[in-house]
Amino acid sequence: MASVGARLSRTVTANANAQYSSSDSKFVKVNTGLRWQPKPFSVVGLYYRYNYSSETVSNEYYDDNIKQVDLAAQWPITDRLYGLLRYNYSLKQSKPIEMMAGIEYLHDCWTLRFVTQRYITASNSEESNFFLQLELNGLGSIGSSPLSELKRNIKGYQSTTQVPNQIGQYDYYE
């Protein structure tokens, strides 16, 4: 098992993890990623995931052989509107595994979030989720919160209602 990560520039990070099997004489797990985060609330990530299993699968719903690419982003569309995206695609199955899209609208004292998510379950059926949340800054929120799903699906995602922790004077300098 080997793992390496690097900050290629002030705004770009890369990482790679790999596991080599001497019995199979090949890499059995590889995860790589490249993330660009030029300023707060702006991130784009591109990732690749590969798993190889030499075992024969008896369960039609479970297969550990994986080849996937993943694109995830949080990006400002205007000074108040942010777009959210995740697209996870299986190269092996030639179909999307998980898709997520949404918007966040930030106003002076409130934020509105709408996120839709579609994914393939372990039993190979499709599930869809819809999140709609009105957050009143400092008071609370109404509706189903997509924040945990956004943080899980978009690496580097930052809620637009929270101030980033301890930004240094040279962070995100333009």
| pTM score | 0.81
Asked if 104 and 117 count as a contact pair (C-beta separation under 8 A), the reply is no
Q: Express as a percent the part of the chain with pLDDT over 90.
A: 71
DSSP 17-62: EEEEETTTTEEEEEEEEEEEEEETTEEEEEEEEEE---SPP--TT-
CA distance 114 to 116: 7
Taking 70 as the pLDDT cut, the residues of the chain under it are 55-63, 162-174
Q: What is the pLDDT of residues 94-144, one digit of tens each?
A: 999 999 999 999 998 999 999 999 999 888 899 999 999 999 988 899 999
Q: What is the pLDDT of residue 9?
A: 96
Q: What is the pLDDT of residue 172?
A: 59
Asked if 15 and 7 count as a contact pair (C-beta separation under 8 A), the reply is no
> Does CATH place domain 2-55+65-153 in 1.10.10?
no
Q: Look at strands 26-39 and 2-7 and give their pairing.
A: unpaired
Give the contacts of 34 (CB within 8 A, at least 6 positions apart).
12, 13, 14, 45, 46, 47
Q: Which residues pair with 81 in a beta bridge?
A: 105
Q: What is the pLDDT of residue 122?
A: 83
